[in-house]
């Protein structure tokens, strides 16, 4: 079954978050955020694919996010674009093949180009070329679908969607909505998603920028305005009405963060726990938002909890917490009273 057919039957889980996960592990530099790790340490990328699969992700997403021509130009490595893209796609395909009995889907990824400017016709042509080459490599690799994500211009998303549909591929279009609650060209999220559906997108929705609660508030309206499948992949951070986007967010309990902005490397105290992510997954399923996942900062335990909340039994479920045998909190008969009854 293809992605749409799978979604017709119920939720599909998509694990993302590679960018921040690799930065935390010391394989990617915050700031430029270019996934050179794909070429420098491919085994690390493969291992994260495995962890997400074992935790219940139905999708193996090639780590081509920000592996585009503009990002590589900034670090003077534009010559690496084709080998980086092809290796990322290859790693995703190989990881999926290791779990051949799981009926996994493999997807390509295109993202915000950072050059789109509606006032500059040349930038529109450059965006088109960037999307077309990435989609072309993904199609050659045999992906099942492509996600266009973290895009905050309807105009830019139109270019990305056209590139995907021109190749005959299934398209997921995920907007990143700024604090204005509108795209940068002044469309509300539901309006933007309606436009994408009318243009042929198979799945529409949101990813990145906002945490689960702030994302859900917008997705509820999107769900009422479109007839196609809806996607929700928030960041696993507690954004608020006052600070709805994690790109500008403070940590009131810490006074040593440069410029008082926790983004991108001091978000630890704002992390959603696994139960919050499980609640988001359940809420999505109840509201018929069936393409479910999490974005920048996601780890395998988030995905596992989301999968279990949806009634799944991922491989790593066998290692979920069981406090019955904990030396202090447990109630197993083999535990010692001197520990279980002590008032810590």
CATH code, domain with 27: 3.20.20.330
The closest alpha carbon to 174, from 200, 147, 136, 212, belongs to: 147
Q: Confirm whether 259 is domain-assigned.
A: yes
Distance CA 221, CA 83 (A): 41
What is the length of the chain? 344
Distance CA 231, CA 13 (A): 10
User: Within 10 A of 137 (CB to CB), how many other CB atoms are there?
Assistant: 20
Which ranges of 172-273 would DSSP assign to H, the alpha helix?
189-199, 212-225
Distance CA 184, CA 176 (A): 10
Q: Confirm whether 334 is domain-assigned.
A: no
The closest alpha carbon to 14, from 55, 49, 61, belongs to: 61
Q: Confirm whether 199 is domain-assigned.
A: yes
Residuewise pLDDT in 10s, the chain (344 residues): 999 999 999 999 999 989 999 999 999 999 999 999 999 999 999 999 999 999 999 999 999 999 999 999 999 999 999 999 999 999 999 999 999 999 999 999 999 999 999 999 999 999 999 999 999 999 999 999 999 999 999 999 999 999 999 999 999 999 999 999 999 999 999 999 999 999 999 999 999 999 999 999 999 999 999 999 999 999 999 999 999 999 999 999 999 999 999 999 999 999 999 999 999 999 999 999 999 999 999 999 999 999 999 999 999 999 999 999 999 999 999 999 999 999 99
Q: Confirm whether 332 is domain-assigned.
A: no
Contact assessment for residue 56 and residue 303, using Cβ atoms and an 8 Å cutoff: yes
The closest alpha carbon to 289, from 235, 223, 190, belongs to: 223
Angle between helices 300-309 and 274-286 (to 10 degrees): 40
CA 39 to chain centre: 21
Q: Confirm whether 335 is domain-assigned.
A: no
Q: Confirm whether 49 is domain-assigned.
A: yes
Distance CA 344, CA 339 (A): 9
Residue with tokens 């092809």: 86
Number of independent structural domains in the chain = 1
Distance CA 248, CA 153 (A): 19
β-pair partners for 207: 233
Range of the structural domain that residue 276 is part of: 3-313
Q: Confirm whether 321 is domain-assigned.
A: no
Give tens-digit pLDDT for 154-173.
Answer: 999 999 999 999 999 999 99
Reading the block at residue 327, the tokens are 């030396």
DSSP string across 51-107: HHHHHT-SEEE-S-TT-SHHHHHHTT-GGGHHHHHHHHHHHHHHHHHHTGGG--EEE
> If DSSP states are collapsed to H, E and C, what string results for 322-342?
CHHHCCCCCCCCCCCHHHHCC
User: Within 10 A of 11 (CB to CB), how many other CB atoms are there?
Assistant: 24
Contact assessment for residue 250 and residue 240, using Cβ atoms and an 8 Å cutoff: no
Q: Confirm whether 107 is domain-assigned.
A: yes
Reading the block at residue 177, the tokens are 């909505």
The closest alpha carbon to 294, from 234, 238, 245, 246, belongs to: 234
Sign of CA dihedral 255, 257, 258, 261: negative
User: Within 10 A of 266 (CB to CB), how many other CB atoms are there?
Assistant: 17
């Amino acid at each position: 079954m293809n992605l749409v057919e799978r979604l017709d039957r119920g939720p599909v889980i998509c694990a993302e978050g590679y960018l921040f996960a690799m930065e935390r592990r010391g394989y990617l530099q915050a700031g430029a955020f270019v996934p050179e790790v794909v070429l420098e340490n491919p085994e690390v990328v493969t291992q994260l694919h495995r962890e997400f699969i074992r935790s219940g992700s139905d999708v193996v997403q090639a780590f081509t996010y920000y592996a585009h021509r503009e990002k590589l130009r900034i670090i003077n490595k534009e010559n690496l674009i084709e080998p980086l893209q092809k290796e990322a796609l290859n790693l995703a395909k190989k990881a999926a093949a290791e779990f051949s009995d799981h009926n996994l889907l493999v997807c390509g990824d295109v993202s915000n180009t950072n050059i789109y400017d509606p006032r500059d016709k040349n930038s529109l042509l450059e965006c088109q070329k960037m999307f077309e080459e990435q989609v072309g490599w993904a199609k050659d690799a045999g992906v099942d679908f492509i996600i266009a994500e973290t895009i905050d211009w309807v105009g830019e998303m139109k270019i990305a969607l056209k590139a995907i549909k021109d190749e005959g591929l299934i398209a997921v279009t995920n907007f990143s909505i700024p604090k204005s609650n509108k795209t940068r060209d002044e469309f509300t999220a539901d309006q933007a998603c309606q436009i994408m559906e009318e243009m042929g997108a198979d799945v529409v929705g949101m990813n990145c920028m906002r945490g689960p609660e702030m994302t859900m508030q917008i997705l509820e309206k999107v769900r009422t305005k479109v007839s196609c499948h809806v996607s929700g992949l928030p960041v696993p951070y507690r954004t608020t009405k006052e600070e709805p986007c994690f790109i500008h967010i403070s940590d009131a309990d810490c006074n040593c963060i440069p410029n008082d902005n926790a983004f991108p490397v001091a978000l630890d105290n704002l992390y959603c726990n696994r139960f919050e992510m499980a609640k988001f997954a359940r809420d999505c399923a109840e509201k018929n938002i069936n393409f479910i996942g999490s974005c920048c900062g996601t780890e395998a335990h988030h995905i596992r909890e989301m999968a279990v909340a949806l009634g799944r039994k991922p491989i790593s479920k066998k290692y979920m917490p069981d406090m019955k045998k904990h030396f202090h909190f447990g109630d197993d008969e083999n535990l010692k009273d001197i520990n279980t009854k002590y008032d810590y």
